[in-house]
Structures are given as structure tokens and as C-alpha cells.
A and B are shown apart, each in its own frame.
Chain A
Amino acid sequence: MPGVTLRGLTKRYGGVAAVDNLLLEVKPRELVALLGPSGCGKTTTLRLVAGFLTPEAGEIWVGERCLSSATAVVPPERRRMAMIFQSYALWPHLTVAQNVGYGLRFKRGMTRTDRDRRVSEMLRVVQLDGFQARYPSQLSGGQQQRVAVARALVVEPEILLLDEPLSNLDANLREEMRFEIRRLHETFGITTLYVTHDQAEAMVISDRIAVLDRGRVAQVGSAEEIFQQPRTRFVADFIGRTNLVDAVAATPDAVTRGALRLRVASADLTPGARVSVSIRPHEIAFATSTEGHAGDNVVSGRVRRVSYLGDAVDYQVELADSDVVLRVAAAPVLRLRAGEAVRLTIPPSACVPLPE
């Protein structure tokens, strides 16, 4: 099972680079999610890998095979890939069995009986046994989705591509299908690229996440790495909710903004440099007594707004002698009121400095 390597991939539309010198390495059997807001180039990247688009520059390798370079481009039908589309792209004039069996027709040395058997097996895997003779229009959205999955997996592709495959499903089904896709990935172990704009989906499904920003990979890593150690302001802001404080480095491990002084996770800041600090709302705690953990940042402020969310309470806290308003997520056991004076403790490890 080969991996995928993208080297300096570039695709321009009328002078604007949709994908800009993109580098990415997907290991064999790995599922990597391409995550980003609309227009970040994630779908374009996927379509370049599939061969529906031709890049202006860069190379696409699958294992030892070069699929696309300045001198040669392999057409989609010879890339040994399969793809699951946002629209499912089931052929309405073919039955479920014909849809699923379509790709097998291009496999050498496969008899009709082999094909039928493989189609039935695969339909059983996606729990659609007995639906062979139906047409796509006679299926529910979730069933259509599973036919699309079966059609892609039955050909045993080297690489599987998914383009926001769950975005047409309703919320409950979407959640169920996340686990289903993860299960299938663990069963078949196909190297997979998965495009989505939904971070929860990316976190559940993938081994690693590549966050894309304006046609480039902003950061690659496990869900945990990306969430806890975002490397750019964009990543911190895009993944989960966070407080971003624009400040100036005072020492290698502390920043200031006016009267506010925060010790941060890193110890190699250049004093005087402008730094953004990301602090996740749930990492901030209300100090019940004057002492916190030794070395924690302690700041005082006043509660401005309280939003009850059921499993948590969301506070907006205006810091004293500062223009900074921090959002704090706390367990609902503690109930503060708007206007109350509070003290917050923030461990330095929760203050992640980001280069501008």
C-alpha cells in the first residue's frame, strides 16, 4: 500500500493561485484530512490528485509512481484511485449493483461471476445487501452515501479520495457515518485523503489533519497537536474557539499588553517582537482563593456577560486595567453573575505564542 507525496503543487485560476506550492506527505495506510474554510484550496488539491485538473507546477507521487510532473500527466482512469463525491455522483440510469460493479469492469482477468460476488460482498459490508436491483433514486440519502462508498472501495484502490462526502447528510446521520468511515478505513487500510471544512469531522476521522490556508498547508499534525500547539494564528483561530491576545514579547518566556503580563509556554521569544497568544477558553480557571498553582498567570477582571450552554457556562471577562476581554468556559456548577469581580488563573502552558 503506497503513500502519497505532493511536491510544490501549484494551480492558478486567472493569475490567482488556488493551490500555491503545496507540500504534503501522506504515509501508507494513513488517513489525512485536508481541512480549511471554503476557498482554501482543499478541493482543488483533491482534484489535482485525482487528475481532473492539471497543475501548473509540482509533482504528485504515489509510492514510486509519478502521476503528475512538468513532463507527464497520468489521466484519472489510470491512477488506480477511487473517489467519493460530495454529490455522491451515483449514475441514475444504473442500478445499485451496476453502479458498484462499474469500476470492476476495468480489472483484467475478472469474470462476471467474480464481479457479482465482489459487489455482493461489498454491499454486505456497507449493509445494503439485497439492494442490488434498486435505482439510486429509490434510496435514502444515507443509503446513496453507502452505495458511493461501496463503489469506491470495491475496486480496491491504492488511494481513496473523499470530497466532503458527509455534507449532504442530516446531523445525526453525519455523526454515525463519521464512525462508519473510520471503521472502514481501519478494515481496509487504504491510504486516504479526506476533504472537509468540518473540524469535528476531521478530528474523528483522520490520523492526521492538514490545515490549509490560502492554497498552502498551514500545519500538519494529529488532532491533538493542531488543537494544543497551533503554529499560526490562522490555525489557532480556525480549530476550536480561542482567545487571541496581541502582545509584545518582554522576555523569552513572557509577553505584555499594557498592564497585562502573561508567562507563556515557549522560552525562545525575542524581546520586543510582536506576538499573538492563543488561550483556549477551557484552560482558564476562576481562582477561588488567592493561591493558584505556583507559576500560573493570575489576572483580575469583571464578568461582563454569562451564557448558559448546558454542559458548560460561557463567560466574557473584562480584564482590569486592560482592553482585553477573555472568554472563559467553566463547568456549570460554578455560577457567577454579570458584574461580579473575579480572578482568573491561566497556566503558562495554555498560553501558546504564535508568530505574526
Chain B
Amino acid sequence: MPSSVVRSTFDRSVPVWITTAVTLVLLMILPLGWLAWVSVSSEQGTTFANYVQVFGDPHLQKALWNTIVLAFWVGAASLAVGVPMAWLTGRTDLPGKRLIRALIMASFVTPPFLGAFAWVMLAGPNAGLLNKVYRGLTASDEPLMNIFTMSGLVFVVTLYSFPYVYIMIVNTLELIASDLEEAGAILGASRLRVALTITLPLALPAIISGFILAVLQALALFGSPAILALPAGFHTITTQIWTFFQYPPKVEQAAAFSIPLLLATALLLQLQKRLLGRRGYAGVGGKTGARRPIPLGRWRWAALAGVFAVLACTIVLPYAILAKAAFAKAWAQPLSWDNLTLANFTFTFFEYSATRDAIINTLELGIVTATVGAVMAALLAYVTNRRLVPGHQALGFLAVAPVVIPGVVLAVGLFIAYTRPPLVLYGTLAILFVAYLTKELPVGYAQADTTFKGVHPELEEAGRILGAGRLRVLREITAPLARSGIIATWCFVFIGVIRELSASIILFTPATKVISVVIFDLKEEGQFAAISVLGLFMLAMTFGIVLLMQTALGRDFLGAKD
């Protein structure tokens, strides 16, 4: 009698598919479906009137144009800053590379709206600290710079967008073996020629794709334009969409105005994916030999000064002014013992109820979203990596699909979808949870995917063949090996959630404010000290998590090994 086990007739992919389908409907298809539907509906039925109205309005045309100008210049400026910095830290003997990388990483995790806010204190035309110093030095009446302008906006947004370019390029440069460059040099090309004819073309897909990422960043941003453009009297698409929600809300117009932003994002991301998909030709991924840093010679210190000038603008000056405002009785006054106080902290954390509630809400949302998100991302990544169900590629695609939805657009969709039956979530923390989960799923999935790619399937098979069942292998072998990667996933989602503004600003209600929204409110009230305290708190939390993540991964999260 042959002993055998009857093959299970139950298809285990069914529950996976049902769960995933339901989740994705709730997270993406419902909001986007409603968004599209509302954009073409009116009391008289289906119509394009909303589009005609929106795109015929000269004010809105101006907002559209402003967004394009902003995005283009941010992209260009990010390249101008990011490419040289990547080359300097990736390829040359520039001193202090570790510190530079750490500071660029800090720029990457600094919430842009906090940077924008700090720059209001630094370069506001009248009270701005830098302008005051300048006027004191030159006895001029004119400010050095006015941050409330388009160029001011481009400047600030670039400070927190260039890290995208930097990361793209630095990682690509790491993959281009020195041999490729030396092969050029041995054939008689000068150093500059090698850079122009070999390194640059090899890095070009990464450069263009970094440009696209910076542009996308600028397109989707709400906080910086709201802080800098609105006082200057101009709008971008995102601030305009937000205005549609001021009383009385014009949801149809907001929807109609959101669709082009969504399409532009999807298109640009598609383009970027194409570019990166082709990079096989770059020979990157070949056997990478040891890289010998290029000596900068007498340019070494000049280059270092340049790099630190940029980092002063992104990190040193903004953090300093936030710290000063948090600890000073009056932020615009000079630092002295009389001017120091801790009252701002007690006020923010204990006395002012709005900030206290917001901190609790933010932490709650951060922990819940990060936990659910990490579990979901891990499950999806495991299923797709181990090809456990038919159609696993589609699952992976769906998990990263939300990346094309800008926060504001997602918020408009969620607002429409969940202010009506069957699921009325508006006014609860749940709608923010849905928004955050959707927004962070692609990042979480990418991290989890990398994690499981690093756990060789043979490690699991070795357990199976020695007698351990599927679940036991998952528990005793896969889970311990994936743990640090999943912790990192949790951290990524958590950091993303606590700094989120562009969706929150549309979905919050007085009972469901989060820190970022309160900072925005406080700005209207001119409560600079409380903002700074909250800002520092947010930064402290972020860096705490980043440290945790680095310990878990054993490397810095831009991808470099120590």
C-alpha cells in the first residue's frame, strides 16, 4: 500500500486574491472611480462642464502654469545640485563623505513644509533673519532675498527634492565599474573626456529619471507652495485643489482639476520606468571592480565648501532657526540668556489642547498604519517573490500602483468616496488611515520586496526537505531572516505617515487633526514658537526611527554599506 497524501483540491490562491482585491478596491479603485465619476457629473447628468469651467478659468490656468514652471525649475535645479554632489561623494577623494551622506539623508527625511516654514523665518522680506543680517551689514533697505516669490519657492522645494536625484545617481555610479572608465583612459581619453563620453552617458538614464522624480515631487507638493506661494498671491494645482474645499466646497471642480495631475504623474512615472528598464545596456550590474577615487587636487576644498553651502541651506540654517524659535521667547530677537525659555515646550505639549491631541492622533495613526502596512507589504512581497499564486506579477504591480496618485488627488477621491454610504469614514481617523496606507504601500512593498529577494528560496527548501512544513519554515527560517527588513519597512511607513500633509489637509476634521495639519494651522495664527517645537519633535521622532532602521539593516538607508 503506497503511503501518499492526496493533493489538496483547495486552491490557496483564492483567499489571497479575494483579500487583495477587496483591499485594493477600498484603497484605490473606489476613490479613483468616484473621482473620475464626480469630475464628469452634474445635476443634469454626465457632462464635461466641470472641465470646461475649470480649464477656462484664467485664474486656474495661471495655477496650472505656475505648477509647470515650478516643477520644471525644481527638476533642473535638483539636477544642478544633485549630480555634482553625487559625483563628488561617489567618485572623488572629497573629504568628509560620511558626514555629507548623513546630512543629505537628513535633507531627504526632513518634511519639506518644515523646511519651507524655517525659510520663512530665515528669508522673509522683513523679519527674515538673513535679510536682517544683510541689511545690518550693508545698510541697504532692500532685502537680500524674498522667499515669498516663485524663485524663493523653487529654491526651497529644490532643497528637499535634490536628494532624489542624488540617490538615483550615486547608486548608479556605484554600479559603473572603474574598468569601464579606465578602458577609456587607456585608449587615450583625458579625464574630462572620460567623464563626458563614458560616465555621463552611462549615468544618463539615472539622471533623467532623477529629474523626473524631482519634478513629480514638486508637482505633488502641497505644504511648501501653501506656505510660500499663497502669501505671495499665487496658486499651484495643489493649493488650488485645497481652496476648492474651503467653504462652500466645490468638489466637482476639485475632481476635474485633479485628473490632469493624476495623468501627468502616471505618464512621468511610466517614462521613468522605461528609462530605468533599459539601463541593462549601461553594463551596470556587470562584475564591478574596485573603484579608485578620482583625486580632486587643489579643487578639493573648494568643492567641499560648495557642498557644505548647499547643506547649510537644507539642514544647518533651517534646523538652527527652528531650534532658536523653539527655545526663545521671541524668535526674531537675538539669542541671549534673557531670551531663552522652555515655556514654548510646556505650552505646546501640555497646555495647548490642539497640539496635544494632534500628537496623540499622529502617533496612533503612525503606529497602526506602519503595522498594518508592514504586514500587508510583507505578505504581498512574499507571495509575489515565491510565486505562490497564479498572477503574482499582477499583485506586485497593484501594490506599487498607488505611487502614481499625488496625496491631494488621493484625498479628493477618498473624500468623495467616504462621505457617502455604504462607508462613511469622513470625520474619523479611519479615512486618514486609508489615505496613509494607500500612499505608503508602494514604499513599504518595495522595501519588503528587497527583503525577500535577499532570502534565497533554497534556504526555505533546505528546511522543507529535512522535514519542516511550510508554516514551520516560514516561522523558523524565513521570519528570522526577513525580520530586520520588515522592521525597516515599518520604519519607512511610519516616517511617511508622521510627515504627511497634502492628503491630511483635505481629510482632517477638528477632531482628527494631526501634527502636520496643526503646524499649518498655527502658521495662520503666527504661532512660530509652537510650530518650531512641533517641528523639532517631528524631526526627533523621524531621526529616532531612522537610527532604529539603520541598526536593523546594518547600513544607511540610502543603500550604502558602511
Residues of A within 8 A of B (CB): 50-52, 54, 64-67, 69, 71-79, 81-83, 85-87, 89-93, 102-103, 105-107, 151-152, 155, 161
Contacts and interface: CB of A to CB of B under 8 A. Distances in A.
B201 to A, nearest CB: 33
B466 A103 contact: yes
B480 A89 contact: no
A79 B3 CA distance: 10
Contacts of A161: 465
A89 B458 contact: yes
B6 to A, nearest CB: 5
A192 to B, nearest CB: 14
A83 B465 contact: yes
A77 B464 contact: yes
A82 B465 CA distance: 6
B420 interface: no
A72 B5 CA distance: 6
Nearest to A106: B467
Contact of A75 (B2, B463, B464): B464
Contacts of B461: 50, 52, 76, 83, 85, 89
A82 B2 CA distance: 20
A66 B466 contact: no
A91 B7 contact: no
Interface in B442-481: 456, 458-459, 461-470, 477, 480-481
Contact of B467 (A54, A77, A87): A77
Contacts of B4: 65-67, 69, 72-74
Contacts of A67: 4
Contact of B480 (A78, A93, A107): A93
Interface of B: 2-7, 456, 458-459, 461-470, 477, 480-481
CB-CB nearest 4 A-B residue pairs = A103-B466, A106-B467, A89-B458, A72-B4
Contacts of A78: 5, 467
A76 B473 CA distance: 12
Contact of B477 (A72, A91, A106, A107): A91
Contacts of A74: 4-5
B459 A89 contact: yes
B458 A71 contact: no
Nearest to B461: A52
A52 to B, nearest CB: 5
A227 to B, nearest CB: 32
A82 B481 contact: no
A270 B497 CA distance: 81
B6 A71 contact: yes
Contact of B7 (A66, A73, A82): A73
Most buried by A among B5, B458, B465: B465
Given A85-B458, A87-B456, A87-B458, A102 B463 contact: yes
A155 B477 contact: no
A136 B468 CA distance: 20
B465 A81 contact: yes
25 contacts: A50-B461, A50-B465, A54-B7, A64-B2, A66-B4, A71-B6, A72-B4, A72-B7, A73-B7, A75-B470, A76-B461, A77-B467, A77-B468, A82-B465, A83-B462, A89-B459, A89-B461, A90-B462, A91-B459, A92-B481, A105-B467, A106-B467, A151-B466, A155-B466, A161-B465
